[in-house]
Structure formats: C-alpha cells, structure tokens
Structure 1
Amino acid sequence: MKNTENIGNFFLDDETPEKNGEQDKSGFMVKELLQTRTLIISQGIDAQLVKNLYSMLILLEKDDIEKPIIVIINSQGGSADSGFGIYDMLKFIKPPIVTITAGLCASAAIIIYLAGDKGKRFALPNARFLLHQPSTSAVGPASDLEITANQILKIRDQFNSIIANETGNDVKKITKDANRDFWLTAKEAVDYKLVSKIIESRNELEKLMK
C-alpha cells in the first residue's frame, strides 16, 4: 500500500501513547491494519475518533477506490453527531464498505455499522446490538432545556429514520422498539434486518466479499 508511510501519528485509540516506544509500536500496528484495509472501532464514538477515521478513510480511498474497506466494531456508542458524521463519510467515499460487529454494537455505533454496503454487514456469532433513545444530563434555564429536548427529539428521529431506511423496517416500529433499551443477539439482528449474515471465520468472509 503506497500511502501509509506517514500514518504513524494517527490512532484509533482514545489516547496517544505517552512513551516513544509505545507510540512507535502503535504506529506500526496502525500501518499494518491499513495494509489490510481494516479499521477497528473499539471505544466511545467521539470527535477524536471522527478525526482519525476521516484521515484513514481518505488515505484508503486514495490508495484504491475499488478494494473494500473493512470496519470492525466493538463499541458502546457515544456522540450521535460523531456517529452521523462517520456514517456520512463512509457513504461518501468510493470504496465498498464492509462492517463487522465483534462484541457490542450500541447506540451511535449502530449507525456506523449500518454504513456498510447492503449485504455486507456481518456479525460474529456472539455479537450483541443495542438500540435506544438518545439522552442528556443537561442542566440550566428552562428555555435552554426546552431547546435541548427538541434537539434530542430531532436526533432520535434522525437515528430511527436511518435505521428504517437501511433495514427496510417501518420507522414507527423502530421508534417503538427503541423507546427503551432494545437488545438483539446476532441471530435476532439478522431477523431484524440489521445484520446481513453471521460469519464465523476469515475464510467465510473472504468468500462473501468476492
């Protein structure tokens, strides 16, 4: 891969390692992952993750617009705006996108997962999924709280609309299900049309990507 020589300063972790040795090792690991066109999301969805992912996605697109990019997800979610941004960027770039849940895919991570191309959204056998309403711990004047509440409702509707569009489920059903914590096993997520297929091995994935 031609365009990863200067990628050592980009990390998918929340914090950059403090020691030079650890930083060099992490930079090497990131380069190796990019060689396989694989990105791993294994922390909260936030602005730092957005920055790092955008950089890597642009590099991978520049390297090859036809080879798929694999995004492996194990995340409890986080910022809705960051999730929407990553979703839009994955849709924006040219390479095909394959998403795999390995562990937990919750809240904003669901939106990122659904950015995978239809038919290319996979889950490992013990993966779990969580849909729920957005929440806030905001405090302040009643007028500001009303504005915040209205924004939360808009985020909820946007969240539910994306899930409905990507799965083919009715948005009213999504809204009802996600009104409280709505857990799905990998098999249940297939029935819910979140997941295209449960996979158990690299060989199986490679066959499905052909």
Structure 2
Amino acid sequence: MPALSTTSELADRLLGERIVLLARELDDDAAAEVCGRLLLLAAEDARRDVTLQVVSPGGSPVAAMAVHDTMRSLRTDVVTVATGSLAGPVPFLVASGTAGKRFALPHAAFLPAMDDTAGQARGARPGDVRVRADHLARRRDEIETLTARYCGRPLPDDARTRWWSADEAVALGLVDRIHGTDTRNG
C-alpha cells in the first residue's frame, strides 16, 4: 500500500471506509467539512453505518451544534469513537452518536467543560460581542440539556472540573463502552 502524503489523501481513504475524522479543533471550517462528509456518506448508502472518529481538543459550541444537528438528521446510524483528550463541546458530539454505538478507546479522556471564549469574534464592537456571548450561552445550555438526554441523566457537578477516563465516561453515559481493549497484552 502506498504511503499517504497529505491529510487530504488520508481523509479520502478513510471516507472510502465510511469513516469521518475530526482531528483538529472544532471551528466553523472543521464543522462544515465533517457535516459535508457525513451527508455524502449517508447519501451514498443510508443503510450502512458511518463512523465519526473524534480526536479533537475542543472548540466552538456553535460548530458542535452544527455537527450534532447533521448527525441527528441522517437516516443512517452514526457510530462515534473517542480518541485522545476531548474537551469542551466535543464529548457532547461523542455522546450524541447512535445509542449502543458510542465508543471510547481505552486511553481517551473527557473534559465536558465549555470554554467561555470559544468562538468569540475578534475585533468586534462591544454590542456585537454581547450578542455573540448571549448566543454562545444559549448553545452551551442546549448542549448541557442534550448531553443529559443522551447520558440518561445530567452530568454530575464535577464533570466540568476534571478529566474523566474512558471507564468513567462509560459510567457517566457519555459512551456505551470501551472499544479496542485487548486483555491478552495487558
């Protein structure tokens, strides 16, 4: 198999396997790319699962809601797989995958705290900043409400103040189980 020389080649190969990779901070551009890839795969075959592999340090609640709404509008199941350290609204995306098909790799870590500065407009006028802040606050509230629905209960108070292991994420209800645990090699 030839080596993949660009991120685009990697993404194209994964797309052929029905895997969408979110491997950077979730901003509007990343959300548009993920949404487009999810829509493409669902249009190709609505009967086959699509996998969203997530290794993202966090990002914008507005961008997260765009990805969430796209995932939930598809007729196909969306398998979510958490990899690495996920913060902010990104654990919410993993939790919003199809019930029973939400996974964490063994060393995934979760911090479902929202960054108050995520997505703020730089160089905006004070009135614009207030409007944007109000919008972000509403999105954060929606994400908390939806996360509680997908987890089957609200997250505990300390969920936003410390990192949670993959095992703890299962207990919280963010994921259904840990994927890829190989007990033969410890």
TM-score (norm: length of structure 2): 0.82
The 2-side partners of 1:104 and 1:198 are apart by 15
Which residue of the partner structure matches residue 29 of structure 1? 10
The 1-side partners of 2:29 and 2:126 are apart by 31
Contact 1:74–1:101 (CA under 8 A) maintained in structure 2 = yes
Q: Which runs of 4+ in 1 moved over 4 A?
A: 137-149
Kindly report which structure 2 residues correspond to 1:1-210, keeping only aligned pairs within 5 A, or say none.
25-136=6-117, 147-170=131-154, 173-174=155-156, 176-178=157-159, 180-200=160-180
Identify if the C-alpha distance between structure 1 residues 152 and 31 changes in structure 2 by more than 3 Å, giving closer, same or farther: closer
The 2-side partners of 1:159 and 1:106 are apart by 13
1:146-182 deviation per Cα after TM superposition (whole angstroms, max 9, x unaligned) = 5555444323311210110110113xx55x335x533
Give the gaps of 5 or more residues in structure 1: 1-20, 203-210
Instruction: Tell me the C-alpha RMSD between the 2 structures.
Output: 2.5
Contact 1:37–1:60 (CA under 8 A) maintained in structure 2 = yes
Give the gaps of 5 or more residues in structure 2: none
Determine helix, strand or coil for the equivalent of 2:55: strand
Letter in 2 for 1:91: R
The 1-side partners of 2:20 and 2:100 are apart by 19
Contact 2:35–2:66 (CA under 8 A) maintained in structure 1 = no
Identify if the C-alpha distance between structure 1 residues 135 and 54 changes in structure 2 by more than 3 Å, giving closer, same or farther: same
Report 1 or 2 for greater relative contact order, CA contacts < 8 Å, sequence distance ≥ 6: 2
The 1-side partners of 2:22 and 2:68 are apart by 13
Identify if the C-alpha distance between structure 1 residues 163 and 29 changes in structure 2 by more than 3 Å, giving closer, same or farther: same
1:81-107 deviation per Cα after TM superposition (whole angstroms, max 9, x unaligned) = 000000110111111110001111211
> Larger C-alpha radius of gyration, 1 or 2?
1
Identity level (%): 27
The 2-side partners of 1:140 and 1:46 are apart by 18
Determine helix, strand or coil for the equivalent of 1:95: coil
Contact 1:134–1:156 (CA under 8 A) maintained in structure 2 = no
The 2-side partners of 1:58 and 1:128 are apart by 28
Contact 1:67–1:96 (CA under 8 A) maintained in structure 2 = yes
